[in-house]
A and B are shown apart, each in its own frame.
Chain A
Amino acid sequence: SQTIHQWPATLVQPVGSPLSLECTVEGTSNPNLYWYRQAAGRGLQLLFYSVGIGQISSEVPQNLSASRPQDRQFILSSKKLLLSDSGFYLCAWSVVPQGRTEAFFGQGTRLTVV
């Protein structure tokens, strides 16, 4: 069965520090991968999505970047965090070519920038 791992679960980082959040998927190949951010009590904002290794599309220009070094690995990064980067970051995957279009989310990372 497919599983998605996202870590860490919580993170407190000072302003100006770097960030690296990692997400890995098991049990499937060539998934579409997504990074979403959710501010407290708000909706899901799509940050990045990837349809293949090295293919990254950015939905919102901001202080963050994403990379997909391997088929089932998706990394969200920042060189210098801002206070406004605080939020709940969710990684998700879907496999459209197999007819399964629903997204499966990881447990999320609660990031607080102080």
Chain B
Amino acid sequence: GQQVMQIPQYQHVQEGEDFTTYCNSSTTLSNIQWYKQRPGGHPVFLIQLVKSGEVKKQKRLTFQFGEAKKNSSLHITATQTTDVGTYFCAGLSGYSTLTFGKGTMLLVSP
């Protein structure tokens, strides 16, 4: 079945440093989604990418979808303590279920 791999599993940065998490799918995706889960909370939808090579920005967050629609990345510029949490990618293949990556836990030290 479809697999979505996400790296790294964990990253600890100093406030102000950049952060990137990468997502790779074993199959071509219809779209890829990114979610953020704050400690103790539930995952919250951030964004969806649909087009090959698509790039979207939300303030300091930049999301990219690969040309082959099998990989994606989330880049945070100048991290802040409010960025702490686990970031999940989730791939949709056709109209089947979403497959989530295992997430990248981000810790930001002030």
Interface residues of A (CB under 8 A from B): 32, 34, 36, 41-44, 46, 49, 57, 90, 94, 96, 101-108
Contact = CB atoms under 8 A, between A and B. Distances in A.
B43 A105 contact: yes
A43 B88 contact: yes
Provide the main secondary structure of the chain B interface.
strand
A43 B100 contact: yes
A94 B48 CA distance: 13
A34 B103 CA distance: 18
B48 A101 contact: yes
B78 interface: no
7 contacts: A34-B97, A43-B101, A43-B102, A44-B103, A49-B97, A102-B33, A108-B42
Interface of B: 6, 30-31, 33, 35, 42-45, 48, 88, 90, 92, 95, 97-103, 105
A32 B97 CA distance: 9
Contacts of A43: 6, 88, 100-103
Q: Which of A101, A104, A107: most chain B Cβ within 10 A?
A: A101
B26 to A, nearest CB: 15
B48 A102 contact: yes
A44 B43 contact: yes
Contact of B100 (A46, A101, A102, A106): A46
